[in-house]
Structure 1
Amino acid sequence: MVYFSSASENTARFVAGCRFQDEGINVYRVPLKASEPALNVREPYVIMVPTYGGGVIKKAVPIQVKRFLNDPDNRAWIRGVIASGNTNFGEAYCAAGDIISTKCHVPFLYKFELMGTPEDTAAVKNGLVKFFTAK
């Protein structure tokens, strides 16, 4: 699991609630600040991202995520995307997931609003365990 979380930490709290490490799933965070060392992932992963842009679809993917995915070695290992968003964004709700799915040719596995619900947490955790253990 690779995720990006802004300074609000909403996505970070969601990921922490999933307790992926308990299931043997490695978790990596895309750095928030450009001054932090770049993240290099060399194993299959699903990326979880919030949707930015306040409803403007072309601004939906955070620049940090674009930078991470523009590294061909990182991009080679992506297997799926999960996105959060705000239904107030209308048709741009969870648009970051749609964009990444299309550009990286991977399935858009799940979407949830803001910080998600306990049901979202359980669905994502169980879904990723199945996703990574499926033969």
Structure 2
Amino acid sequence: MRLATSAPLLVYFSSVSGNTARFIEKLGLPALRIPLTAADPKIEVDEPFVLVTPTYGGGQGRGVEKGAVPKQVIRFLNDENNRRLIRGVISAGNTNFGEHYCAAGDIISRKCTVPHLYRLELFGTPDDVARVSDGLERWWTQQ
């Protein structure tokens, strides 16, 4: 377990495209990556965290609930200990998804009853990095 800091642990999933991983790297905050394949060792967190996840396909044509949240993230959150420690979610998406933009964050927020803290396009802009970094620090210290 880490010593108390002004920023939360980030737990993130990034597909082979690496968009979410690039965003996390730019933030420079402590982070754990959810494994890409089921064959990889599972991670289990032992402290409160903020989840960062991409949105897949926006659920288009299958209903918002179907396919928007990556299976790896679902598997991670199905672990009761991990789910118990989530404090917020940040989602990445593609505005081409229209009304389903960043739907994964909305779904996780609702199902885990945590705030959807931020939405970003693909791997984020420098403004996104600054907003998330500053916002997380302010929000986390108020928890």
The structural deviation recorded for 1:127 is 1.3
CA contact (8 A) 1:4 1:12 kept: yes
Q: Secondary structure at the match of 1:59?
A: coil
Matched, 1:70 2:74: no
| Distance in 2, Cα, partners of 1:38 & 1:74 | 11
Between the aligned partners of 1:128 and 1:37, the Cα distance in structure 2 is 28
Contact 1:55/1:91 (8 A) holds in 2: no
Query: What's the TM-score once normalised by structure 2's chain length?
Result: 0.87
In structure 2, what is the Cα distance between the partners aligned to 1:134 and 1:18?
20
Q: Secondary structure at the match of 1:76?
A: helix
Residues 1:17 and 2:21 are matched in the alignment: no
| Deviation sequence 1:79-107 (CA, Å, 0-9, x none) | 00000101101111000000000000000
Q: Is the 8 A contact 2:88 2:117 kept in 1?
A: yes
* 1:55 to partner: Cα distance: 4.4
TM-score (norm: length of structure 1): 0.92
Amino-acid identity (%): 59
| Among candidates 98, 114, 117, match of residue 109 of structure 1 | 117
Q: Is the 8 A contact 2:68 2:104 kept in 1?
A: yes
Kindly provide the CA deviation profile for residues 48-69 of structure 1, in whole angstroms up to 9, marking residues without a partner as x: 0000025422210000000000
| Aligned-pair Cα RMSD in Å | 1.1
Counterpart of 2:48 (choices 34, 44, 50) is 44
Task: Spell out the pairing of 1:24-39 with structure 2 (5 A cutoff).
Answer: 26-39=30-43
- Unaligned 5+ residue runs, structure 1? 21-25
The Cα of 1:133 is off from its aligned counterpart by: 2.0
- Runs of at least 4 residues of structure 1 off by over 3 A? none
Letter in 1 for 2:15: S
1:82/1:109 contact within 8 Å kept: yes
Structure 1 letter corresponding to 2:13 = F
